[in-house]
Each structure stands twice: as structure tokens, then as C-alpha cells.
Amino acid sequence: MQTRTLGNSSLHVSALGLGCMGLSHGYGPATDTKQAISLIRAAVDRGVTFFDTAEVYGPYLNEQVVGQALAPVRDKVVIATKFGFTFGADNKQQILNSRPEHIRQAVEGSLRRLQTDVIDLLYQHRVDPDVPIEDVAGTVKELVWEGKVKHFGLSEAGVQTIRRAHAVQPVTAVQSEYSLWWREPEQALLPTLKELGIGFVPFSPLGKGFLTGAVAADASFGSDDFRSIVPRFNQQALQANQGLVVLIREIAEQKAATPAQIALAWLLAQAPWIVPIPGTTKLHRLDENLGGASITLSAADLQAIDAALSNIRIEGDRYPEALQARVGR
């Protein structure tokens, strides 16, 4: 597995990381703990050194699983986690909270669950409009001084928030959705990150499974699957967006690859400081995804893909309205 550096920082990670959320949260029942640990350790054996989790995934369960899985190899891997919420009595309601005292409380909990004495990359999960970003960055700066955190990150933040945070405590990485069917970051986010020397970590690089070609046009999702409330996964949008799957499948056949591998190779080709974090619960999908790092798309390939994409209209928002309100602040 090749390695990359996130922006101008000293944080070196595998070219593809592993998004661990789906093992415990968002896509149906949690994976059996032993099976989840086995998958994470299989990723380590295959050269993955970058693992992404958050206290909200579960809540808390995913950090526990990641911590247990990586404890034997803690000195060889990079663990990223996130703060930014408190939870209702049933642990289902997510309430934005980035007050400095809560950040410290969250970090202590994450350190305990991850079985570590330092968090390699700590993200604010969502911008809290009630707390100045300078206060958030300042608190993380103190945690860095105290040796509890190594690097600071932001998730789904707007460019002005990124600039303000970066002026207080250098931001190592920004995380947001980016893929062949969600290219909005190219408009303002990616140019800003390049200017500031900040790395980019795309989540949902496979479009929550859609870009693999495994989601049928008539697919339906259970109430415990996040996609059941995503407009882009309603019946009308799924049918309308099949043209994108056809395109990716055609490119994959030309390269003797799979659609998932093409989607990941395309992301890796966009900039050397981009590190996608595809997630999976299945070993054969892990192997398939990691194969995307060995596929090279030429400038001509990328131009052809861009030209073909320009003729495809993507239907449906990527978030329901209530969640969209938390993005890009």
C-alpha cells in the first residue's frame, strides 16, 4: 500500500484508509464484534494504516471496537475520531455541542474507548453555530500541548470556518463527502485546502454503495439504514442515476477493474493530498477496494471521464433537509 501525507503536515497515512462507521452504525444492525475486529485487523495486514471512527457511531460502540482491534498495533496506525455531539436519553438524538468543556470530556471518553493515550487526528464532527470556531480550535490547541491530540481536523465545515480555525490551530485535514456523484468540493473547498496546505479525507467515496453498481434501481432500505432518508436513494433518484453506474462500469471493463476500484482511483488521481476512507463489513469488498490504489488513470482517462460526466445529470440531494443544515457552516 502506497502512503500519502495529509497536506503540509507530518501525518503520513496509507493512500486508502478504512472508514469504520458502517461496522457499528448507519447501515443496519452492528456487525458482530469479533467479525468487525477481524476485518479491521485484516486491513492492517494489507497495509492500511489510517482508521476513521467517531464517538457518535453507535454511539460509542465503534470507538470501542476500533480500540480493541488496533490495540496490538497501536504504534503502527493512525486513528482519527470526532467530537461534537451530546446525546438524548435514548442515545439516538444528536445535539450539537462543541463547548470547550464538552470537547475535553469527549476526548477523555475517546481516549478510554480507543485504549490509547493520544488521538492522532481529532475532528470537530459538525460546526456548532453556538460556539465560535476560535474557541474550538483553541481548545484543541491546548489538547495538543497537553499531548492528548496530535492533529486537528474539521468535518463538513465551510471554507471561512476552515480559515478561521486554521489561524488558531493548524488544520491537518478536512473531511467531507466527495465522489464521482458528489463533486461540489471542487468549487470552493478543494482550492482552499490546496492554498492552505490542508489534506482532504473524502468519506462515502463509493456513494454509500451506489457507485459499486450493487444498488439496484428498485432497491429499498430498512428504517435502520441511513439511506432510507437520503433523497438520492429514493426510487425516482435511483432510477434516474443509473446512467452514472453504466458509465463507471464501462470504464471499469476497459481497465479490467471493478466500478468501486475506478471510483477510488479517480479520487486518488485528483490530488496527492487526498485520502479516501471507503468502508465495508466484508473482507472481499475490503480487498476489492484496496485494489483501487493500484490503478492509474491517465490524464486522457480523467478527461474522458469528465467529458462523460458532463452529460449526466445527478438527481437527489445527498442529505435530508435537517441534516443538510449542518453542512458547510
Q: What is the pLDDT of residues 16-59, one digit of tens each?
A: 999 999 999 989 899 999 999 999 999 999 999 999 999 999 99
On whether the pTM is more than 0.85, the answer is: yes
Do residues 55 and 87 make contact, with C-beta atoms less than 8 angstroms apart?
Answer: no
- Beta strand ranges found along 104-167 (DSSP E): 119-124, 149-155
DSSP per-residue string spanning 78-101: EEEEEE-EEE-TTS--EEE---HH
d(CA 130, CA 99): 8
| C-alpha torsion sign, points 22, 24, 29, 35 | positive
Report the share of the chain in percent with pLDDT over 90.
Answer: 95
**Active-site choice (27, 57, 60, 123):** 57
pLDDT of residue 157: 98
Could you give all domains of the chain from N- to C-terminal order, each with its CATH number?
3-324 (3.20.20.100)
The cell for 251 is: 470504464
- Reported as a single tens digit per residue, the pLDDT across 157-166 is 999 999 999 9
pLDDT-wise least confident of 191-195, 215-219, 266-270: 215-219
Q: How far is CA 309 from CA 51, 188, 246, 251, 271, in A?
A: 31, 19, 11, 12, 19
pLDDT band of residue 229 (cuts 50, 70, 90) is very high
d(CA 101, CA 148): 15
Residue 319 appears among annotated catalytic residues: no
pLDDT above 90 for 246: yes
- Reported as a single tens digit per residue, the pLDDT across 106-130 is 999 999 999 999 999 999 999 999 9
> Which amino acid, 116?
T
Do residues 45 and 92 make contact, with C-beta atoms less than 8 angstroms apart?
Answer: no
